[in-house]
């Protein structure tokens, strides 16, 4: 065991840290120091500017091969990058659903032509991808989805009908990746196909709507006989094989639940900020008990810090196992449970630390509202507990 | 960066796990419990019991493997290894609920005596199993397996925060006076055979500062590892049980309410374990943040084991609430260990101080 970073890794960290410090400041000043949420129309444009800054410096997708816009960074360097990114207070990545959810599937199932076309445009934020899985009547029970793609051989393509919803950032994206029923009369996870769909097709309507925090972070997407030509995307619009959509999609779920979407750096940075906030707050708290800090708060701050640290350490263990060819198996459900509950706890503790002022909009109150979605999206925590109990502990299915 | 044990470390762990699986099953753990009724009439040790001799045999088997001297230099007859080499062994002694002071003798006292030139000349006897040692951390007066202990130290912090190791003078377990009468206290986990010290003197300080603090940290670390092992054991027992036990025509383990209890327990253990291993690494390389890593590990492991105990009992239902069912052997040990060598709250306070808040 050796939990130290090599000289090269430390040099990479220093380089990333210096670059982020300079460029984040430059980006903020380009927008007059007024950065809006990436889930609003005006804010999205600001964030696209940031994504292109990242891409130009080849920091948008550090772990990807150079030909697709990355720098072939190791998994360790990727973890370092994420630590530095959140430590520096980098904004949420508006490209993340493409980069972290679709790209791993493209790398695994995409043809060389699909990879060559899709990946660089995703990295540079020319194409912005959203996920089209959930439907009004298919949430946790995703396999009950009913969106149809009917084959039209005469025109050479697919005719899309149905509705997707809860599509994160759908109102601002250019493309959707999703599951459609291509075998008429098929049920559950059979007869599904993973399709790549430009959203500017005739017959596609995207309607954004407000999330819990009021940002236009959600969208519903209506397909009314929209024609998706086979060549709408160079290399084809089907990812994997027709009818194999479920197994192709499952490759994405473990990315979503596991490491790639929520690197530990995000939570260790939040925990460090919480410790700083406590230190600052307790420094000026008055001694009298009516206005002093609740004595239990320090304990909760420390608990949050320790749990973030445990996530970091568990990740180092998992990445090592993976690198040495001993994949951990179906453990991504535990990871999703851990970070999503940790995130809520860290933010609730911060709000309690702020006291009555917590009601005011702030980084913490915004973060809290966002954290509340964690136990719901990417498969609710109830579903994750079922998966963990069945696939890891071996308990019988219902 | 490499967060994994070496093949040698894993092989040693497997060897000890195999030995304990064979020599220390539930019936041997129960055999360490006093037989018959206690002062209040409770018959805590009832159930399938092995012969008493098998309890003693486990300790001599471990001595024979060299495990008791794992943290002692080769010059003094040990294996010359560090926390990273024994942390998995400690975890296995937890998994087995080993009824002996492995933590206190092998992880705490023997390496400390080795570091300060064996001032009382007991090291050889500790390593060959003739003598068992214990250590009283943080002002505790409870000596686990106190009826066999013949070398006892205390580990405490002075007012200025300096750690001090002293030989315990007088009291019940002083020196090697095996004739002295030792009365077992009535305790929840009577298999720990706790003797409570009466009046005793903390005399004969023989180590202070870093070696004494490291001795304490080794105790907290090894206990954290035992707690992870105990948690794994309770989870294993419970997973097997809920697959077998049927109600409403189905195994109770197919019910979501049961699955969710056990998924929560498994998750807590899975995230506590890396904290324990990382703390072992920190101590081994003398990392400046080692104390913080140890306290993080002990706090997380204590809470994880206690949660697992609760969930395991709940998933067993009434059968788990008996002394005949093995579960209580591990559940009570976990509860005792969660509070020794500093409980979760004590370690959180220490982490807070080390974070500067």
Distance from the B11 Cα atom to the nearest Cα atom in chain A, whole angstroms? 15
Contact A395 B253 (CB under 8 A): yes
The answer to whether the CB atoms of B264 and A310 lie below 8 A apart is: no
Q: Do B263 and A334 touch (CB under 8 A)?
A: yes
Phi, psi dihedral angles at B111 (to 5 degrees): -65, -30
| Domain annotation covers residue B105 | no
Residue B335: give the domain boundaries. Answer: 212-354
Beta-bridge mates of residue B203: B167
pLDDT of residue B263: 98
Confidence of residue A142 (pLDDT cuts 50, 70, 90): very high
State the smallest CA–CA distance between residue A371 and chain B in angstroms: 19
When mean pLDDT is compared across A124-128, A329-333, B48-52, the lowest value belongs to A329-333
Q: Under an 8 A CB cutoff, do B3 and A390 touch?
A: no
The residue length of chain A stands at 398
Q: What are the CA-CA distances from residue A398 to residues A192, A333, B254 (Å)?
A: 24, 18, 5
Q: Which of B4, B250, B264 comes nearest A320 by C-beta?
A: B4
Residue B278 domain-assigned (yes or no): yes
Tens-digit pLDDT profile for residues A41-60: 899 999 999 999 999 999 99
Residue B316's CATH number: 1.20.140.10
A394 interaction partners in chain B (CB closer than 8 Å): 239, 243
pLDDT of residue A378: 86
CB pairs under 8 A between A and B: 148
Classify the complex by whether its ipTM is higher than 0.85, answering yes or no. yes
Q: Give the residue on B whose Cα is nearest the Cα of A397.
A: B254
Averaged over A195-212, what is the pLDDT?
97
The full set of domains in chain A, from first to last, is 7-94 (1.10.540.10), 129-245 (2.40.110.10), 258-392 (1.20.140.10)
Task: Give helix B210-244 / helix B327-339 axis angle, nearest 10°.
Answer: 150
For every residue of A163-229, DSSP letters joined together read EE---TTGGG-SEEEEEEE-STT--TTTTEEEEEEETTSTTEEEEEE--TTSS--EEEEEEEEEEEE
Domain count, chain B: 1
Kindly state the DSSP code that residue B95 receives in the 8-state scheme: H
The answer, yes or no, to whether residue A398 has pLDDT greater than 90, is: no
Spatial contact of B278 and A313, defined as CB atoms under 8 Å apart? yes
pLDDT at res. B176: 44
pLDDT band, very low/low/confident/very high, at B175 (cuts 50, 70, 90)? very low
pTM recorded for the entire structure: 0.96
Residue B172 clears pLDDT 90, i.e. is over it: no
Interstrand relation of A218-229 and A157-164 (parallel, antiparallel or unpaired): antiparallel
Q: Is A348 a residue whose pLDDT tops 70? A: yes
* Measured distance CA(A22)–CA(A10) in Å, rounded: 19
Cβ distance of B259 and A5 shorter than 8 Å: no
Q: Which residues of chain A have a CB within 8 Å of the CB of B277?
A: 1, 313, 317
CA distance B131 to B108: 14
By annotation, the residues of A acting in catalysis are 256
Residue B166 falls inside a structural domain: no
| End-to-end alpha carbon distance in chain B | 30
Mean pLDDT of the A331-348 span: 95
Report the residue from B243, B256, B267 with minimal CB separation from A386.
Answer: B256
**B235, B253, B357 ranked by CB distance to A396: nearest:** B253
Reply yes or no on whether the pLDDT at A276 is more than 80: yes
B251 to A320: CB separation less than 8 angstroms, yes or no:
no
* Cβ–Cβ under 8 Å, residues B335 and B191: no
CA-to-CA distance for B46 and A2, rounded, in angstroms?
A: 47
**CA distance between the termini of chain A:** 41
For residue A388, give every residue at least 6 positions away whose Cβ sits within 8 Å of its Cβ, in sequence order, or none. A330, A331, A333, A334, A337, B263, B266, B267
Closest-CA distance of chain A to residue B221, Å:
15
Report the distance separating Cα A349 and Cα B127, nearest Å: 48
* Residue of chain A whose alpha carbon sits nearest to that of B295: A306
Which of B81, B184, B357 lies closest to A285, judged by CA?
Answer: B357
Contacts of B279 in chain A (CB under 8 A): none
Nearest CA in chain B to A300: B348
- For residue B174, pLDDT over 60 is answered with no
For chain A, the average pLDDT equals: 94
Percent of chain B with pLDDT over 70: 96
Q: Are B103 and B90 in contact (CB under 8 A)?
A: yes
Q: What percent of chain B has pLDDT over 90?
A: 87
> 3-class SS at A156?
coil
| Residue A19, helix vs strand vs coil | helix
Does residue B156 register a pLDDT over 50?
Answer: yes
* B253 neighbourhood in chain A, CB within 8 Å: 389, 395-396
Residue B223 inside a domain? The answer is yes
**Inter-chain residue contact A392 with B266, CB threshold 8 Å:** yes
What pLDDT score does B171 carry? 57
Contact assessment for residue B238 and residue B209, using Cβ atoms and an 8 Å cutoff: no
Cα separation of B33 and B45, whole Å? 5
Residues A171 and A206 sit within 8 Å (Cβ to Cβ) = yes
Chain segment A242-274, per-residue pLDDT in tens: 999 999 998 766 665 555 668 999 999 999 999
CA distance A116 to A121: 9
**Strand B132-137 relative to strand B149-157: parallel, antiparallel, unpaired?**
parallel
Q: What is the mean pLDDT of residues B219-232?
A: 98
Judge whether B310 lies within some domain.
yes
Average pLDDT over residues B174-180: 52
Phi, psi of A99 (to 5 degrees): -65, -45
pLDDT at position A331: 84
Per the domain annotation, does B138 fall within a domain?
no
């Amino acid at each position: 065991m050796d939990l130290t970073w090599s000289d090269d890794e430390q040099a990479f960290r220093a380089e990333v840290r210096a670059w982020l410090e300079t460029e984040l400041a430059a980006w903020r000043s380009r927008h007059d120091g007024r950065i809006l949420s990436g889930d609003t129309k005006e804010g999205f444009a600001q964030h696209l500017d940031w994504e292109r800054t990242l891409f130009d410096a080849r920091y948008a997708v550090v772990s990807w091969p150079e030909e697709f816009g990355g720098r072939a960074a190791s998994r360790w360097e990727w973890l370092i990058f994420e630590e530095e990114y959140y430590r520096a207070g980098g904004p949420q990545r508006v490209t993340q659903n493409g980069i972290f959810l679709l790209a791993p599937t493209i790398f695994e199932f995409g043809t060389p032509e699909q990879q060559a076309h899709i990946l660089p445009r995703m990295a540079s934020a020319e194409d912005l991808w959203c996920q089209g899985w959930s439907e009004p009547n298919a949430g946790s029970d995703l396999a009950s989805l009913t969106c149809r793609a009917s084959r039209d051989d005469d025109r050479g393509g697919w005719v899309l009908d149905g509705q997707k919803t809860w599509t994160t950032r759908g109102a601002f994206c250019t493309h959707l990746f999703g599951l459609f029923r291509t075998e008429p009369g098929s049920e559950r996870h059979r007869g599904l196909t993973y399709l790549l769909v430009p959203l500017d097709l005739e017959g596609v309507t995207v309607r954004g709507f407000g999330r819990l925090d009021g940002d236009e972070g959600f969208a519903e997407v209506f397909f009314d006989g929209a024609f998706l030509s086979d060549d709408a995307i160079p290399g084809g619009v089907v990812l994997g094989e027709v009818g194999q959509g479920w197994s192709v999609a499952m490759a994405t779920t473990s990315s979503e639940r596991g490491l790639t979407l929520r690197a530990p750096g995000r939570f260790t940075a939040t925990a460090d900020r919480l410790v700083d906030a406590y230190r600052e707050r307790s420094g000026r708290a008055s001694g009298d008990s009516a206005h002093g800090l609740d004595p239990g708060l320090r304990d909760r701050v420390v608990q949050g810090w320790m749990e973030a640290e445990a996530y970091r350490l568990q990740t180092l263990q998992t990445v090592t196992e993976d690198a040495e060819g001993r994949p951990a198996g179906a453990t991504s459900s535990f990871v999703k449970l851990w970070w999503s509950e940790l995130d809520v706890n860290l933010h609730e503790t911060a709000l309690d630390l702020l006291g009555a002022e917590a009601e005011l909009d702030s980084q913490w109150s915004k973060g809290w509202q966002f954290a509340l979605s964690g136990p719901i999206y990417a498969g609710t925590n109830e579903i994750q507990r079922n998966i963990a109990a069945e696939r890891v502990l071996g308990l019988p299915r219902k | 960066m490499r967060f994994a044990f070496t093949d040698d470390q894993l092989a040693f762990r497997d060897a000890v796990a195999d030995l304990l699986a064979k020599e220390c099953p539930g019936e041997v753990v129960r055999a360490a419990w006093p037989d018959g009724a206690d002062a209040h009439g409770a018959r805590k040790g009832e159930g399938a019991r092995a012969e008493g001799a098998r309890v003693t045999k486990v300790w001599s088997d471990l001595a024979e493997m060299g495990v008791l001297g794992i943290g002692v230099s080769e010059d003094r007859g040990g294996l010359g290894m560090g926390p990273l080499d024994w942390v998995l062994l400690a975890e296995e002694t937890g998994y087995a609920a080993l009824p002996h002071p492995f933590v206190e003798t092998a992880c705490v006292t023997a390496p400390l005596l080795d570091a300060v030139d064996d001032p009382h000349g007991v090291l050889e006897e500790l390593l060959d199993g003739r003598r068992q040692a214990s250590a009283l951390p943080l002002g505790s007066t409870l000596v686990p397996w106190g009826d066999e202990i013949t070398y006892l130290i205390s580990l405490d912090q002075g007012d200025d925060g300096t750690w001090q190791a002293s030989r315990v003078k007088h009291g019940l377990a002083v020196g090697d006076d095996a004739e002295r009468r030792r009365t077992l206290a009535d305790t929840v986990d009577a298999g720990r055979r706790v003797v409570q010290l009466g009046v005793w003197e903390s005399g004969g300080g023989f180590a202070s500062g870093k070696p004494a603090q490291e001795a304490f940290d080794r105790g907290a670390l090894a206990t954290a590892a035992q707690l992870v092992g105990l948690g794994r054991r309770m989870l294993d027992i419970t997973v097997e049980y809920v697959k077998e036990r049927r109600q409403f025509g189905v195994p109770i383990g197919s019910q979501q309410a049961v699955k969710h209890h056990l998924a929560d327990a498994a998750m807590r253990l899975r995230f506590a374990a890396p904290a324990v291993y990382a703390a072992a690494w920190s101590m081994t390389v003398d990392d400046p943040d080692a104390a913080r890593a140890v306290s993080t590990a002990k706090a997380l492991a204590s809470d994880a084991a206690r949660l697992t105990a609760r969930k395991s009992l709940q998933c067993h239902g009434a059968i788990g609430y008996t002394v005949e069912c093995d579960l209580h052997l591990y559940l009570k040990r976990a509860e005792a260990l969660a509070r020794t060598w500093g409980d979760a709250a004590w370690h959180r306070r220490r982490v807070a101080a080390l974070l500067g808040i």
